[in-house]
């Protein structure tokens, strides 16, 4: 859901008891002398609660100044049908809000791509502004790098005093445990500089997060699930652990309200992009010079295309009828290859493109080449499935592909090189 800061899936110890105590009265959290702490469970629970509250207070006080409120503006044509009928039509300003946070002393701000995306989700918004905690005035920001497939973006404010830049330390999302504290910061429903608290509910969710192009289907990737309240406007804000380290970037929610035709809101199931994914991508974003950073590629062109208007859209074999696949002697599911780029990782691994093209009503398919049916043991039926297997890889990493060729399957290893990241 671009423009309101969150994409929605369906469719972010003191005792204080005074100086005087009566005989046998014991402060909360302190066990009676000579008795183990466990003998007073109510007191122990209250003491733990106070410690947890103080920890949250300390984390927020120290790191909330590193939170950034982001607003965007896009000038779009009015959709007034009467004005369009008579060749007129006025422009209107479409506004959006979201969150972000400083990641270094240079002032780089990490956020979600959909927070700063332009009209229809393509490219960057025409105007991006940021405002810091305790400041009334916003300052303009420019794009350093965009990564639609990861739903991440890096922006930098212009003319901001260096003393106002307060980076939040980045943690290690690979070491997360279910049940540990999670603190979400952001601007739910435009209520900037808000904080919610919960736990890490799961570390192993696989959900569609990024965009296969400037829009389109999300690319399935690993996500952190949390019950810390995340709402529209929280997107791009940090998810912190009890040490104040960023463990994720708030990005999506599951919201039954959307199915009922309402506004997306927290149902206790929110998702964050693991910070390690962002850390791996950060150098590429910083070197993007305002451009787009893509997921790694192996050098193949899909060979099954469905016609959509004037353009062809790559699809998987599951879109064809079983009878059609039997006649063409193709497997039930898979990614058909049209061609393989010379000198690419796919070419060095021996992948082969099609030798002929057969057109049919509504599209065309390349025949005579390979069909990728799995990547690292996971089924592949579309280009997004292959991208999901590659998205967190680095130069030198390998991926094992299962290929279908002339009725037989075989495994090949593809090694990513520098060209995969250009």
pLDDT of residue 83: 54
Is 308 one of the annotated active-site residues of the chain? no
Whether residues 259 and 194 share a domain: the answer is yes
Residue 83 lies in a domain: no
Exposure string for 253-291, b = 16+ CB within 10 A, e = fewer: bbbeebeeeeebbbeebbbbbbbbbbbebbeebbebeee
Residue 399: CATH number of its domain = 2.30.42.10
Q: Which of 71, 99, 108, 151 is catalytic?
A: 151
Residue 86 lies in a domain: no
* Gap between the Cα atoms of 414 and 399, Å rounded: 5
Whether residues 266 and 235 share a domain: the answer is yes
Which DSSP symbol is given to 391? Answer: T
Whether residues 250 and 103 share a domain: the answer is yes
Residue 82 lies in a domain: no
**C-alpha angle 297/216/249, rounded to 5°?**
75
Residue 257 lies in a domain: yes
pLDDT of residue 78: 63
Residue 319 lies in a domain: yes
Whether residues 119 and 145 share a domain: the answer is yes
Instruction: Answer yes or no: are the C-beta atoms of 249 and 171 closer than 8 Å.
Output: no
Residue 24 lies in a domain: yes
The residue to which tokens 């296969």 are assigned? 212
The residues, ordered by sequence, that sit 6+ positions from 329 with a Cβ below 8 Å of its Cβ are 407
Whether residues 129 and 141 share a domain: the answer is yes
Whether residues 41 and 173 share a domain: the answer is no
pTM to 2 decimals?
0.79
Query: What is the domain count for the chain?
Result: 3
Residue 84 lies in a domain: no
Using the 3D structure, point to which of 270, 294, 318 is the last residue of a domain. Answer: 294
Residue 124: CATH number of its domain = 2.40.10.120
Q: For residue 93, which phi and psi values (nearest 5 degrees)?
A: -95, 125
Using the 3D structure, point to which of 294, 317, 333 is the last residue of a domain. Answer: 294
- At 55-84, the pLDDT tens digits run 999 999 999 999 999 999 998 776 655 555
Written as tens digits, the pLDDT of the chain (422 aa) is 444 444 443 333 222 323 322 222 333 333 444 445 456 776 776 677 688 899 999 999 999 999 999 999 998 776 655 555 555 557 788 889 999 999 999 999 999 999 999 887 778 999 999 999 989 899 999 999 999 999 999 999 999 999 999 999 999 999 999 999 999 999 988 888 899 999 999 998 988 888 875 445 678 889 999 999 888 889 999 999 999 999 999 998 876 554 445 555 556 789 999 999 999 999 999 999 999 999 999 999 999 998 766 677 889 999 999 998 999 999 999 999 999 999 999 999 999 999 999 988 888 999 999 999 999 999 999 888 999 899 989 999 999 999 999 999 999 999 999 999 98
SS3 percent helix, strand, coil of the chain, rounded to 5, is 25, 35, 40
Whether residues 258 and 323 share a domain: the answer is no
* Gap between the Cα atoms of 219 and 228, Å rounded: 24
- At 381-392, the pLDDT tens digits run 988 899 989 998
CA dist 312 → 218, 302, 341, 364 (Å):
18, 11, 20, 9
Residue 85 lies in a domain: no
Is 151 one of the annotated active-site residues of the chain? yes
Whether residues 247 and 106 share a domain: the answer is yes
Whether residues 235 and 96 share a domain: the answer is yes
Q: Which of 71, 108, 114, 294 is catalytic?
A: 114
Using the 3D structure, point to which of 294, 309, 325 is the last residue of a domain. Answer: 294
* Gap between the Cα atoms of 121 and 155, Å rounded: 17
Which structural domain, as residue segments, surrounds residue 25? Answer: 13-64
pLDDT of residue 4: 45
Is 235 one of the annotated active-site residues of the chain? yes
pLDDT of residue 10: 35
H or E stretch including 256? helix 256-259
Whether residues 194 and 279 share a domain: the answer is yes
Whether residues 263 and 307 share a domain: the answer is no
pLDDT of residue 122: 79
Whether residues 137 and 237 share a domain: the answer is yes
Q: Which of 235, 266, 294, 339 is catalytic?
A: 235
């Amino acid at each position: 859901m671009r423009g309101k800061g969150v994409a929605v899936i369906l469719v972010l110890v003191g005792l204080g008891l005074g100086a005087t105590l009566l005989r046998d009265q014991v402060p909360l959290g302190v066990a009676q002398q000579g008795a183990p702490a466990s003998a007073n469970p109510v007191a122990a629970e209250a003491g733990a609660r106070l410690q947890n509250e103080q920890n949250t207070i300390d984390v927020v006080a120290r790191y909330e100044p590193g939170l950034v409120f982001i607003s965007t503006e896009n000038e779009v044509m009015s959709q007034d049908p009467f004005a369009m009928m008579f060749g007129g039509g006025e422009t209107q300003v479409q506004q959006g809000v979201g969150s972000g946070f400083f990641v270094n002393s240079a002032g780089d701000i990490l956020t979600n791509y959909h927070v700063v995306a332009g009209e229809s989700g393509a490219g960057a918004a025409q105007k991006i502004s940021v405002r810091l905690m305790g400041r009334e005035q916003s300052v303009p920001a420019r794009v350093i790098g965009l990564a639609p497939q990861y739903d991440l973006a890096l922006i930098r404010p212009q003319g901001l005093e260096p003393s106002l830049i307060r980076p939040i330390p980045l943690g290690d999302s690979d070491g997360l445990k279910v049940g540990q504290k999670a603190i979400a910061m952001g601007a739910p429903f435009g209520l900037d500089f808000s904080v919610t608290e919960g736990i890490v509910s799961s570390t192993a969710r696989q959900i569609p997060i990024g965009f296969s192009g400037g829009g389109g289907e999300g690319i399935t990737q690993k996500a952190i699930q949390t019950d810390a309240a995340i709402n529209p406007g929280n997107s791009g804000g940090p998810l912190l652990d009890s040490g104040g380290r960023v463990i994720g970037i708030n990005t999506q929610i599951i919201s039954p309200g959307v199915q009922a035709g309402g506004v997306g809101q927290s149902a206790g199931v929110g998702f964050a992009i693991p910070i390690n994914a962002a850390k791996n991508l950060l150098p590429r974003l910083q070197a993007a010079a305002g451009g787009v950073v893509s997921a790694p590629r192996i050098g193949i062109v899909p060979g099954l295309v469905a016609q959509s208007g004037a353009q062809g859209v790559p699809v998987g074999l599951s879109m064809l009828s079983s009878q059609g696949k039997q006649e063409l002697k193709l497997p039930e599911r898979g990614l058909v290859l049209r061609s393989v780029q010379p000198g690419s990782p796919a070419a060095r691994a021996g992948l082969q493109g099609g030798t002929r093209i057969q057109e049919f009503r509504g599209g065309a398919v390349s025949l005579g080449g390979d069909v990728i049916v799995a990547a690292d043991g996971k089924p592949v039926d579309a280009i997004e499935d292959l991208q999901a297997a590659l998205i967190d890889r680095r130069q030198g990493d390998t991926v094992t592909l299962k290929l279908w060729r002339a009725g037989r399957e075989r495994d090949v290893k593809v090694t990513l090189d520098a060209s995969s990241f250009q």
